[in-house]
Amino acid sequence: MFPLIENRTYNQLIVENLSQITTRHAKHKKFLQANETFPLESHIKLIDFVDQPNPALTRDMRTSLSKSATILADLFLNNTKNLAQYSRYYFQVLFPVLHADKQRPSKSQSYIDRMIVACLTDKSIHKIWLSCHQKDPQSSLDLLSLLHTNETTISGLSSSKELRTIVQQLRTISTEIVDNEENDNVEHREFLSAYSKNDAVVVNKCKANSQFKISSVLKLLVLLYVSFTIYQNWLWLTVAADYLLEDYMKHPTAVVIKERLSNACIETRKLALLSLKHGEEFLRSTMANIEPYAIQYGQYIQKQWNHLLKHIEGPIYDKSAEIAEQIQKLSIIIFNQSVHYLKLLFDWSSYYTANLTYLAEIYITQAYEIVHDKVANFDAKELRENMTLLRVLCLHGYRQNGTLFREKTGSFRKLLKKHVAEFVYIDAPHLIPAQENTNEQDTSVTASNRSNERGWWFSSCEQTYDPLVTTSCDRGFEESVEYVMKYIDEQTTPFDGLLAFSQGAALATLLLARFGATKCPFRFVILIAGFKSGQEQHQSTYNNLQIDLPSLHVIGTGDRVIPSPMSEALVNECYKDAEILRHDGGHFVPTTSEAKLIYTKFLDRFL
């Protein structure tokens, strides 16, 4: 009867109009004319509508609608003359809705029960009951149950013998339908099983409700017991979880994951709050713009109606009331047609919503299967190994860059893939002029890479560098030191070790001297073709320098760029308890099987 309209002001006008009509009829106790029937179907729709969820109905509106439905039901029951005249029609309308697919609230169901019991005052209703029983045997079950529990005296059923007679007739009809092989009706079988004798009722509903209540109580008790157990042992559970996950949660990889998840959560929450804010502002502005016009329109109509009633009296008033009733009937017809098309629209929307829900369920099921497969095949051992692997900062040599150094150490990285999770290569901040040629020239560099050759500092003002010459120029050295130290501080995941080559190894020694023993960010250092800087400004740093950090020094006896005595001097004078890997090669990173054994043995100490 009433559509779910998302306009609270419109619904308020409907509720007030219905309340005025029902109050006026209840006051005069006159609702129907002599030959009019009570609009029972619309009244049933009103009863069901009050209990339907509708965001545009407030609590006061629902209370007013419920009160109007009660007044209409009382008017129906008190009009005995009209009830006796049209009791057959009323019974035919009420009988099918007595058994509802969806359980109604007790208050709403009581309206229908009182109305159908009132129709049974006419004994001729029994024949109509028998004819209706063929289509709705479930309604007969509900009506008989109602009659068994009804304490009031029904004039149409003055004795229990008459009720048993009706039951016997209903059983006869159901038996004939069940015995017919062409119609295997399950509902009639249920009626026969419920009324095995004339007046014996099997109260299956009470048993089912009792079993449901018992199971619900048991589930609630189990839930309370589990909750109480978790509450009592919550401290021990948290302590155990912290102890088991402490090492993993402190690992750099876990810290990064935690930070990224936290940032994603914060951003998602901000976006959701912003969307809710904009949506709320839009709804408020829309309602604020519409509501004044609706209120003004309602006030205008009410004012004109009061003005009309004030100036019309006598026969003109009666004629106006008749015209008003005709207009109201015409409005009801228009409204019912609108409801019909709205219902079609809602059915169409429900159909496509069901299809979309079905498709969403399919995709969610597939996503769940994928996630379940990933979780089922999750390798905890591999994760544990990755979380314990090392992270190393790499400093390239003179006339190199991070990309070129990474390419040259490809075999070296493959040797240590079970020990080092990540090699981080950075570029020196100073570009080298392409025309320069020094002793540390890398002959394997192609012409395309020379445009991006870099160095950590220069030994002359002409932007050149020679590791074999002692000078007083260290142009760009301080900038490189500040650049590397700032890069280390900006890392969210700390480095475990430092890998440096040639001029990068010389810079690494001076960096470690500046950090000192207490503030050093590394656990170990690997220097390849390292040497002491020849600049006069750096010599004071080497005085009495003993770096107490696990170190591995790779020295090539055939190295022509950095002769091996320069590397030996760096180890003997600046490092304490250093390990040395000597090879017969030149100025490169060795990756032989003997070198691999020394590398892995050195790194095993830090896993």
465-508 tens-digit pLDDT: 999 999 999 999 999 999 999 999 999 889 999 999 999 999 99
> To 10 degrees, what angle do helices 137-149 and 87-98 make?
100
Asked about 559 being catalytic, the answer comes back as: yes
How far is it, in rounded angstroms, from Cα 604 to Cα 256?
24
226 pLDDT band, cuts 50/70/90, is confident
Mean pLDDT of 441-461: 73
The more confidently predicted of residues 425 and 101 is 425
DSSP 8-state class, residue 535: B
pLDDT of residue 38: 77
384: β partners: none
Looking at per-residue pLDDT, the higher value among 424 and 64 belongs to: 424
- For residue 115, what are the contacts with CB-CB under 8 A and spacing of at least 6? 40, 73, 76, 77, 90, 94
pLDDT given at position 1 = 45
In the chain, what is the straight-line distance between the N-terminal and C-terminal CA atoms, in Å?
76
Q: Quick one: pLDDT at residue 181?
A: 54
Question: What pLDDT, on the 0 to 100 scale, is given for residue 29?
Answer: 65
Residue 304: the pLDDT is 78
pLDDT at 104 over 60: yes
Is residue 502 among the annotated active site residues? yes
Give pLDDT, residue 363: 74
- pLDDT of the residue at 465: 93
Does the pTM surpass 0.85? The reply is no
Query: Which segment of 36-50, 417-431, 525-539 scores lowest on mean pLDDT?
Result: 36-50
Q: Is the model's pLDDT at 565 over the cut of 90?
A: yes
Q: Does the pLDDT of residue 2 top 50, yes or no?
A: no
pLDDT reading at 138 higher than 60: yes
Pick the more confident residue, 376 or 300. Answer: 300
Choose, from 87, 139, 459, 502, the residue flagged as catalytic: 502
- Asked whether the CA dihedral 330, 331, 332, 334 is positive or negative, the reply is positive
- pLDDT (mean) for 154-158: 55
Q: pLDDT band at residue 4, thresholds of 50, 70 and 90? A: very low
Task: Write out pLDDT tens, residues 161-206.
Answer: 777 777 777 778 777 777 775 556 777 777 777 776 544 443 444 4
Would you place residue 309 in the very low, low, confident or very high pLDDT band (cuts 50, 70, 90)? Answer: low
Q: Is 497 helix (H, G, I), strand (E, B) or coil?
A: strand
- Bigger pLDDT: 516 or 463? 463
For residue 447, the model assigns a pLDDT of 53
Residue whose structure tokens are 């779910």: 4
Mean pLDDT of the chain: 78
**Orientation of helix 125-133 relative to helix 137-149, angle to 10°:** 130
Alpha-carbon torsion angle 317, 319, 320, 326, nearest 10? 150
pLDDT above 70 coverage of the chain, percent: 80
CB atoms within 10 A of CB 209: 11
Secondary structure class of 583 (helix, strand, coil) = strand
More confidently predicted of 407 and 148? 407
pLDDT tens readout for residues 427-450: 999 999 876 444 444 545 555 556
Lowest average pLDDT, out of 48-57, 67-76, 313-322, 430-439, goes to: 313-322
Write down the pLDDT at residue 375.
62
Give pLDDT tens digits for 354-396: 777 777 777 777 776 777 666 666 555 555 455 568 999 999 9
| Per-residue 3-state assignment (H helix, E strand, C coil) for 373-403 | HHHHCCCHHHHHHHHHCEEEEEECCCCECHH
Q: Quick one: pLDDT at residue 507?
A: 95
Q: How many residues does the chain have?
A: 607
